[in-house]
Structure 1
Amino acid sequence: MSSNDGWEADRLREDLVVRGFTDDGVRLRGPVLWCPPAHAEVLARVEIKVDERFPFHPPQVRLLDPGALVEVTFHVDRSARRGVSGNLCLWDDIWPADRAPWTEADELLSRIAGWLELTAAGWPGDSVCDLERYLEPDPTTFVLYNAEQLAGLEGHAVHIRAGSTTGTKEIGETPHRLKRRSGRPGFRRADRQLAWVENLGQIHRPVRRWCDIHEVLGERATPVERLVAAGVVNLVLLRYQRGNQQSVLALTVKYTTAGIEVQACESADTSSYTRQMRAGATAALLADVPIAIVGCGAIGSLTADLLYRAGARRLTLIDHERLRPGNVVRHLAGLEQVGAWKSVAVRNCLSTIDPAVDAVQAMPTAISSPDQAIRLLEDHRIVVDATGSARATSMLAFAANTTGADAGKAVFTVCSQRDGDVVRVDRLPARSAETYLPPLPGRDKPNELREQGCGSAVSRTSPIAVAGAAGLACRVVLDELSEASMLPDSVAFVGHPQPEEPFTHVGLVTPKCASRNAVGK
């Protein structure tokens, strides 16, 4: 702790003492004035501990006496010791230390008073779903379930599958029919290691032990308890709702002489909706747009990856080459797919992000004729040319200028130049009155890199520049589909200044930059 941090803590302690708190050097105890519903103001007593994390972390606050009849429910940590109240959860948001409200005594006490008033009112409008925090944790188990299917499993046992990582358990998607062993007590061996699914409905207080769950479920709890006692069920999934939010509490359960012990597991939803929540605002826009990516090498593979993550599902991947070990350092695919066609390898990678790849086509072929290029553009709204091949690019340009303008289709060529110092994307055909950036001449490379068994020279473009090119291509595609047309037909990013105008400065370059430079001369 810096000397300034210590001064902040000392100042807070002194300010609290002025406001009636006692200080034993470790903890401060004192009054907080608050107003219960339909009552006059009362004095609560709290205990405040300012530890070494202050001011980067708020002080720990425990409620000693609320001063009125209040049921403490939500937003309080699980106590480390039985019979001792947990710390109040006063701030869900994180503040920088220099502006943190808990550094001021009045702000801190006002927050405590507000917490008491919300607790007394039953936390109206609160929809935080965090039942795990009120229970003992099971840190070794991570549970995966499909939320879209859980409703149909309520009141049933389901199989548990081992996940792909240690400690991960996947909940089955169909009910399991329990059968007792004929002529003998107990259940079959197949009726072991099962999960049970139930619904708590709208909850108004946390569950802290099995008896709380029994109280909510009522008679529905009895069959579950019998199965736990028989060793059949060792995992329970409880759907519940707070306010307008729904969630799932996953519990490992164990029968003991003292009753059923429960521990909360970290859990996650595997449904398509959840997997798309972080895809961005353009996911719906991209979902049904047919997009072809020609060239599934370094730039093409990462472009496909970004578009798929952003919501594109109707992708056609075209490349006639196989993945080589030397490609992997810049490619989406890893060594485990060496030898596969690059287009197939990319599709395999996309399936690990979202298995719904039915509309993703992998074509191990090349664009070999103008007619083929025209048909490709006719079948797709957008074609991304990431081949780095002048021949393929010229055929796609021919197709774009032949059919693209009238049909609302576009080809985007994306490339890396000068070993990745400049990455560039051009739209074909050009919109009316649009101009392109000037070409950047190639340079002689007397010491070209050569890979054994490969006839072509190896580009020195770094993985970082490749990722930048893919990102720029995706931004241009999204701009096209949104019809915003904020980006021009030609755009480049300069990572290292070049001697030729307008590529002399680091940053984004557009035809407007070229025009300004020309006027300046």
Structure 2
Amino acid sequence: MTSSWQSDLVAEADSWRARLGELGFGDDGHRLRGDLAWQHPVHGHVHARIEVELTDRFPFAAPAVRVLDPGTTMELTFHIDRPALPGLHGNLCLWDGSAHPVDAAPWREPQVLLDRVRNWLEQTAAGWPDDDVCDLERYLVPDAGAFVLYDADLLAGRVGLFKTAPGPTPRTIEVTGNRRPGVIAPRGRQQLHPKDRGLAWVDDLGEVSCPPREWTDLAQALGRADEVTRLIALGAVGYLLLRYSRNGHRAALAVAVQRGGPAPSITACESADTSLATRSIRAGDTAVELANVRIAVVGAGGLGSFAADILFRSGVRRLTLIDGERLRPGNVVRHLAGSNDAGKYKVTAVMDRLAATGFDVGEVERRNRDITRLGDAVELVKTHNVVLDATAHAGASSLLATAADIVGTGTGHTVISACVQREGDIIRADRFPLRRAEQHLPALTSEPVRAGVREAGCGEPVSRTPPAAVIAAAELACRMVIDEATHQCALPATMADVRRPQPDPPFDRLGLLTPDAVSVPVAL
């Protein structure tokens, strides 16, 4: 029995085929073929012959379109998939499928699809001006083997033979910055030394006007093709790392090569740049500014560990972690660290996780002791731009808030106190000291932790707060910390996210609360 949604898909596909047929396309029940008029920049008005196939992904993805005959002598270059069989053309890449939800997908209208194909042909004939998409891997046979890592900054401008090394995980290969000196040649009948096998040739293809599809294409672009061919034949070169550009956009193509036959065989490897610049792209617009800001996280438990991780990934490097406790196995459900870190001081466990990102932790300071004296709290506030209180301890929070008031408003030193209340029903962050005419939301009394929930060897009751609430609180805290650290000062003195309504106004409604959104009594 066919489901209603299946019937709807079949009906839409049938309607689509019928409408394309009305535009002059013949239908053999599987593919539709027809002529498409387009304007060549030299030959003028020409007619292409194209083939359209609705796949089982329609309408969530565009129909497959292939050019059977462009209507004039013309090489099909970019934005076309590798063909399944030699002598055929691959499917045209007409849209980025992720850019269009199905309810707004332009390919659901046949005429729009044909207009897109017409534009594709005209762009191809013109050489794809202004196109900067760098995806040369798609035009080669994919390699199911190594994932190639390289540091673009380390190899910038360098050409020649470089050593490779095993990457950090299985089936990863790293192209190192160490050049292989001298001449490689076998000695008599002896084979090459193992250290001279699987090396990488690094070169620059320059501006690419046509994607390479076989070895001869690459050889024409290499400055020392004969030498590279010789090294491949010897078994010395196993990989090519080829820089290239398209309309000023720089990229690299990693290729695995194998000797044999009249020419080496090549397959495209997935590859990635490990340079600091590339690894920092996703850190956000404030990363550069945060790099020189001093931030302390007091309390490296659940909330504090995730907040430290977020801040570090966001660009904070001058980070101080403060906590006197060790990590217990029971902590890891709500902690950044894992079971293998049990027994470490929490600050060390967090530090190790930060180091695992690959960024420099040289300016991260660990203090495996608690802040218990007001003088120490004042000194901490004075020596850091922002102090995040993630202790979930009323006494420690009061100590840090008092220290912030002593240091004073306008000094550029603030404390953000963040917590999860009522076992995850509310997450909250408050800034100290208050600025002129500011107020905090009223305090919410903490309900006692349910009796009977205890861990052996741990004196206090254990909260049943779920991990999602802890991570959400860390994100809320980091928003306020970054707002202060970058001097945007756009957020209110309190932000409270009510995740489950409470009987206590104003926390009796869902959503984000701020002092401006509720009536807060003025303290006399």
TM-score (norm: length of structure 1): 0.95
Instruction: State yes or no: 1:501 paired with 2:505.
Output: yes
Match of 2:17 in 1: 13
Instruction: State yes or no: 1:156 paired with 2:161.
Output: yes
Q: For residues 271-420 of structure 1, what are the structure 2 equivalents within 5 Å?
A: 271-420=275-424
Match of 2:138 in 1: 133
The letter for the 2-side match of 1:103 is R
Match of 1:54 in 2: 58
Q: Cα distance, 1:345 vs. partner? A: 0.9
Q: Cα distance, 1:512 vs. partner? A: 2.8
Give the alignment's Cα RMSD to 1 decimal. Answer: 1.8
Match of 1:215 in 2: 220
Match of 1:81 in 2: 85
More displaced 10-residue stretch of structure 1: 389-398 or 121-130: 389-398
Instruction: State yes or no: 1:22 paired with 2:32.
Output: no
Q: For residues 253-268 of structure 1, what are the structure 2 equivalents within 5 Å?
A: 253-268=257-272
Match of 1:171 in 2: 175
Partner SS, residue 253 of structure 1: strand
Number of residues of Structure 1 aligned to a counterpart in Structure 2: 516
8 Å Cα contact 1:237/1:250 also seen in 2: yes
For 1:233 and 1:403, how far apart are their aligned partners in 2?
A: 63
For 2:216 and 2:72, how far apart are their aligned partners in 1?
A: 26
Partner SS, residue 190 of structure 1: helix
Match of 1:246 in 2: 250
CA deviation vs aligned residue, 1:409-434 (integer Å, no higher than 9, x gap): 10111111111211111111111111
For 2:64 and 2:370, how far apart are their aligned partners in 1?
A: 65
Match of 1:469 in 2: 473
CA deviation vs aligned residue, 1:267-320 (integer Å, no higher than 9, x gap): 111111111111122212312110000110011001101111111111100111
Q: Cα distance, 1:483 vs. partner? A: 3.4
The letter for the 2-side match of 1:331 is H
Q: Which structure 2 residue ranges, 5 or more long, are not aligned? A: none
For 2:21 and 2:517, how far apart are their aligned partners in 1?
A: 63
Match of 2:72 in 1: 68
The letter for the 1-side match of 2:405 is N
CA deviation vs aligned residue, 1:430-474 (integer Å, no higher than 9, x gap): 111111111111224461422111222222211111111111101
8 Å Cα contact 2:162/2:175 also seen in 1: no
Match of 1:196 in 2: 201
Instruction: State yes or no: 1:90 paired with 2:91.
Output: no
8 Å Cα contact 2:232/2:258 also seen in 1: yes
- Would the alpha carbon gap of residues 204 and 416 (structure 1) be closer, same or farther in structure 2, given more than 3 Å must change? same
Q: Cα distance, 1:183 vs. partner? A: 6.8
Partner SS, residue 293 of structure 2: coil
The letter for the 1-side match of 2:244 is Y
Match of 1:440 in 2: 444
More displaced 10-residue stretch of structure 1: 128-137 or 353-362: 353-362
TM-score (norm: length of structure 2): 0.94
More displaced 10-residue stretch of structure 1: 84-93 or 301-310: 84-93
Q: Which structure 1 residue ranges, 5 or more long, are not aligned? A: none
CA deviation vs aligned residue, 1:94-122 (integer Å, no higher than 9, x gap): 32233222122211111111011000000
8 Å Cα contact 2:61/2:97 also seen in 1: no
The letter for the 2-side match of 1:261 is S
Match of 2:115 in 1: 110
8 Å Cα contact 2:82/2:90 also seen in 1: yes
More displaced 10-residue stretch of structure 1: 76-85 or 19-28: 19-28
The letter for the 1-side match of 2:127 is G
For 2:50 and 2:257, how far apart are their aligned partners in 1?
A: 35
For 1:59 and 1:355, how far apart are their aligned partners in 2?
A: 44
Q: Cα distance, 1:176 vs. partner? A: 2.0
Instruction: State yes or no: 1:233 paired with 2:261.
Output: no
Q: Cα distance, 1:182 vs. partner? A: 6.2
The letter for the 1-side match of 2:82 is R
For 1:514 and 1:44, how far apart are their aligned partners in 2?
A: 66
Q: Cα distance, 1:180 vs. partner? A: 4.7
8 Å Cα contact 2:33/2:50 also seen in 1: yes
Partner SS, residue 76 of structure 1: coil
Match of 2:105 in 1: 100
Q: Cα distance, 1:335 vs. partner? A: 0.8
8 Å Cα contact 2:419/2:473 also seen in 1: yes
Partner SS, residue 326 of structure 1: helix
For 1:454 and 1:151, how far apart are their aligned partners in 2?
A: 55
For 1:122 and 1:91, how far apart are their aligned partners in 2?
A: 18
Partner SS, residue 109 of structure 1: helix
Q: Cα distance, 1:39 vs. partner? A: 3.8
Q: Cα distance, 1:52 vs. partner? A: 2.2
CA deviation vs aligned residue, 1:371-419 (integer Å, no higher than 9, x gap): 1111111111000011122222222122211113242210111111111
Partner SS, residue 304 of structure 1: helix
8 Å Cα contact 1:47/1:62 also seen in 2: yes
Instruction: State yes or no: 1:510 paired with 2:510.
Output: no
User: Identity over the aligned pairs, expressed in percent?
Assistant: 48
CA deviation vs aligned residue, 1:145-179 (integer Å, no higher than 9, x gap): 11111225422222x22223221112212212245
Q: Cα distance, 1:370 vs. partner? A: 1.4
For 1:498 and 1:129, how far apart are their aligned partners in 2?
A: 53
- Would the alpha carbon gap of residues 93 and 56 (structure 1) be closer, same or farther in structure 2, given more than 3 Å must change? closer
Match of 1:42 in 2: 46
8 Å Cα contact 1:374/1:396 also seen in 2: yes
